[in-house]
Structure 1
Amino acid sequence: MSQLPIVALVPTGGTIGARGRDRLDLAFYGELDQQHAMEELLEVIPEVRAVARVRPVPFRSAASHALQVEDVLRLARRVVQLVADPSVDGVVVTHGTNTLEETAFVLALVLSTDKPVVLTGSMRPASGLSSDSPINLFNAIRLAAAPGASGRGVLVLMDDTVHSARDVTKASTARLDAFRGAELGPLGFIEPDGSVLFHHRREPWPAEGAFSVSGLAALPRVDVVMSYLGADASLIDASVRAGAAGIVSAGTGAGFPTPAEQAALEAAADGGVVVVQASRTGSGRVGVSPAVMARGIVSAGNLAPVKARLLLMLVLTRTHDPRRVAEYFGCA
């Protein structure tokens, strides 16, 4: 037992620990704003003692859609401290599912470690009938303790499925299999016999672990502007007036804003705002022509707009040069 790995467990709130009015309260439990203590959740899964020694780490509890960027930076600093602790073998963060993918992505940008860091949540509250809370928590701890998870970057474990923090997205509001791996699919699975199987190679990407949260209390303002049929320049102009240092354009289809938006984006870029062009589709790589790049507009590659925003916020703490920004997005 003494040889089992030590997994630090950081609870941040969300459905995985939520308490509803009754076992069939699977939709509006958040209105109660009640959470089970992490010790209560662990008591339900005594089997965890056979795979790891869990070390609970107190943290602020909040619904994930209520979190601010500053909260995520504070969490990142805590996880940085944990992975630097030689006695800790892995870290699990429990998190609400609404913005789990964004927090996971930030952690992937600021962590440089081979130790497994796993985020998990649940689609049904801990008090709900047939909740996925216990199995997701158990499997996340199992994954963080698995030797094969080392050196694979920040991972997300939901519904027996292992995802990369870079690619994962919540693709359904309430289904148990809500989390998907976009174009590349999942990295692997937790099998019924407890085996952790990976079927993708480890592929580092330019921005992974490239940033530090040490002394970083806030990030520059970056807004996401979604394009739609007949969209004009109003939202882009409002973003510039509000002092945005960067704008992510969630363009139509292959990443095309309307002509009015394109003109406004180019004017913003001329004024020193860093513009990144993404697509609202949620899948596929955005290509930016050399002519558009020459005007200072950068491609988001295949990053979803919300993740492109977070990366740009961190990049802007280092540079406003579109050519260097493009390097972090892997589109130079």
Structure 2
Amino acid sequence: MTIPRILVLGTGGTIAGAARTRTGKAYAAGEVALETMLGEAGSLELEAELVPRPVARIGSQDIGWKEWDALHRDIAAAQDDPVIAGIIVTHGTDTAEETAFLLDFTLPPRKPVVLVGAMRPSDAVGSDGMRNFANAVRVASDPESAGRGVLVVMADTVFAAADVRKAATANIDAFRGFPRGPLARVTPSSLDWFAPAHRTGSPARFAWPDALPRVAILTAGAGMDAKPVEALLGIGCKGIVLAGMGQGNAPRVVIEALSRAAAGGVPVVRSARVDEGMVDRNVEVDDDAHGFVAARALGPAKARVLLMVLIANGITDPARIQAAFDGR
């Protein structure tokens, strides 16, 4: 049997974290080198050859263009390398959904690409990191993982990048999927898909840009005024995502300020600050009149990522942006 070769790109995060005490809450993300982590994984007798390539050793709250550009470049090269069967990215959980979604929209789904993290640092009692990593190896090694886009593996569960979100601050099972639930259940010794791959043979949906524009998330709250909108425009935001109340609503003065921004050529996307649900067009807010875009199933974080990619690809017309959100 041929042992699959898996490229492992390390960015740090809790999966590479070191706790101050094994039973305490405090820890430092990214303290454990990728090679050290893979050395520990070697004792698990995983049926794969793991090729380490460190990218960063940071908490995922600090990830940005530099790391995203490096990940995209390395994954694209690995997809063209016939000896690489799959790619794993070790990543902090705070922004895993954003990195996964960004890569998902800008890479073809030719080979498995799996993001994996942990909710507890590597040396904490009950750490979940090594089991999650073993599960990620199982997924990245499976040819049936191809054609599904970028995947996120946490707590014996496989999610699609388009659906996954972090829904709890500290639970081992902190990740959820919406509008679809999990794609598969996985353990270090088994993998059960719930449906066939749906993107086999499809190209990348958008080109990888030279840079990403400044797009901000504005969270709506009772009693707020228009000043935050004016401030965001003042610092040169090229797009604004509203994390609104309910189905993406906000005080009238905020909606009016955002309407002026949209009329001035700054795309505005309405999403919701609530944990889950659809934001449809023209429910409480008249999107047609204001020139807004409804985020549909995407929460604020992913809506921001998609809007950045669209603007970077020269797509600023609200109708075209809406079509991308509808078909995400």
- SS of the equivalent of 1:57 reads strand
Report how far residue 164 of structure 1 moved: 0.8
Instruction: State the match for 1:164 in structure 2.
Output: 160
Instruction: State the match for 2:78 in structure 1.
Output: 82
**TM-score, with structure 2 as normaliser:** 0.92
Instruction: State the match for 2:65 in structure 1.
Output: 69
Q: 1:35 pairs with 31, 34, 55, which one?
A: 31
Q: Which has the higher strand share?
A: 2
**TM-score, with structure 1 as normaliser:** 0.91
Q: What whole-Å deviation, never above 9, does each CA across 1:23-75 have from its counterpart, x for those lacking one?
A: 223x2111xx6622223222323365442111111212111111223322322
Report how far residue 179 of structure 1 moved: 0.9
Instruction: State the match for 1:14 in structure 2.
Output: 13
Instruction: State the match for 1:184 in structure 2.
Output: 180
Query: 1:281 and 2:274 equivalent?
Result: yes
Q: How many residues in Structure 1 have an aligned counterpart in Structure 2?
A: 323
Report how far residue 309 of structure 1 moved: 0.4
The letter of the residue matching 2:16 is: G
Instruction: State the match for 1:127 in structure 2.
Output: 123
Matches within 5 A, 1:224-243: 224-243=217-236
Q: Which runs of 5+ in 2 are unaligned?
A: none
Matches within 5 A, 1:106-255: 106-191=102-187, 194-203=189-198, 209-213=204-208, 216-255=209-248
Q: What is the root-mean-square deviation in Å for CA atoms of aligned residues?
A: 2.1
Report how far residue 256 of structure 1 moved: 1.3
Report how far residue 292 of structure 1 moved: 2.0
Q: In structure 2, what is the Cα distance between the partners aligned to 1:319 and 1:166? A: 20
Q: What whole-Å deviation, never above 9, does each CA across 1:137-162 have from its counterpart, x for those lacking one?
A: 11101110012212111000011110
Contact 2:34 2:54 (C-alpha < 8 Å) held by counterparts: no
The letter of the residue matching 2:164 is: V
Compared CA separation, residues 128 and 331, structure 1 to 2 (3 A): closer
Q: In structure 1, what is the Cα distance between the partners aligned to 2:272 and 2:255? A: 14
Compared CA separation, residues 187 and 6, structure 1 to 2 (3 A): same
Instruction: State the match for 1:46 in structure 2.
Output: 42
Report how far residue 248 of structure 1 moved: 0.6
Contact 1:70 1:217 (C-alpha < 8 Å) held by counterparts: no
Instruction: State the match for 1:326 in structure 2.
Output: 322
- SS of the equivalent of 1:143 reads helix
The letter of the residue matching 2:304 is: R
Contact 1:182 1:282 (C-alpha < 8 Å) held by counterparts: no
Contact 1:6 1:90 (C-alpha < 8 Å) held by counterparts: yes
